[in-house]
């Protein structure tokens, strides 16, 4: 089970409304996702060395309550679905046990030339790992 990721809001991430600008949560999701992959042994460097990347093809964010400078947001990452062609990741962001936002990112798999590949065929080990982590969370 992966540890949650923490992001402390920077001053420059706030806007003139005095709160964290909503675009930054998409960046926090990326930070938490890369940390999660690192934790399960598939960090960015390993992925890159295997010529594999998983670009974002869709995102969805539901904002529940604002945060501001110095807030330490706890981000839980959970694998929602993995197939040969795509990966769906869920995120729950919390501050003092209250939900800040929930989000989903959907990814495809491409090789070093940017061509879509089947994860099952190009990296069966990672596919099985993601699949087992997905199932174990049900």
Residue in 57, 56, 53, 55 with CA at minimum distance from that of residue 123: 53
Nearest-angstrom CA–CA distance, 133 and 138: 9
Question: Which is catalytic among the residues 15, 62, 96, 111?
Answer: 15
* Binding segment (CB under 8 A) for a second copy, from list 16-24, 77-85, 89-97, 122-130: 16-24
Q: Which of 60, 111, 116, 128 binds a second copy (CB under 8 A)?
A: 60
Q: Which of 57, 84, 85, 124 binds a second copy (CB under 8 A)?
A: 57
Instruction: Look up 35 and say whether it is catalytic.
Output: no
Nearest-angstrom CA–CA distance, 11 and 83: 39
Helices then strands, counting H and E runs in the chain, come out as 4, 5
Nearest-angstrom CA–CA distance, 101 and 49: 33
Report the alpha-carbon angle 75-76-82, nearest 5: 130
DSSP string, 45-61: HHHHHTT-B--EEEEEE
In the complex, the smallest distance separating the C-beta of residue 38 from a second copy, rounded to whole angstroms, is 9
Q: With CB under 8 A as the rule, give the number of residues binding a second copy.
A: 34
* By CB under 8 A, residue 47 contacts a second copy: no
In the complex, the smallest distance separating the C-beta of residue 129 from a second copy, rounded to whole angstroms, is 21
* By CB under 8 A, residue 85 contacts a second copy: no
In the complex, the smallest distance separating the C-beta of residue 30 from a second copy, rounded to whole angstroms, is 6
Nearest-angstrom CA–CA distance, 4 and 77: 7
Under the rule (CB under 8 A), what is the footprint of a second copy? Answer: 10-12, 14-19, 21-24, 26-27, 30-31, 34, 44-45, 53, 55-63, 66, 68-70
Cite the active site residues.
15
């Amino acid at each position: 089970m992966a540890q949650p990721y923490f992001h402390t809001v920077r001053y420059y991430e706030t806007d003139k409304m005095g709160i964290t600008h909503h675009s930054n949560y998409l960046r926090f999701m990326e930070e938490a996702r890369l940390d999660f992959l690192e934790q399960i042994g598939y960090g960015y460097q390993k992925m890159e060395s295997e010529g594999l990347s998983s670009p974002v093809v869709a995102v969805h964010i539901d904002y529940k309550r604002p945060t501001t400078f110095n807030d330490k947001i706890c981000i839980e990452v959970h694998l929602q679905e993995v197939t040969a062609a795509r990966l769906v990741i869920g995120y729950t962001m919390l501050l003092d046990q209250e939900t800040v936002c929930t989000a989903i990112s959907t990814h495809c798999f491409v090789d070093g030339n940017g061509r879509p590949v089947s994860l099952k065929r190009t990296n069966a080990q990672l596919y099985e790992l993601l699949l087992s982590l997905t199932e174990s969370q049900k």
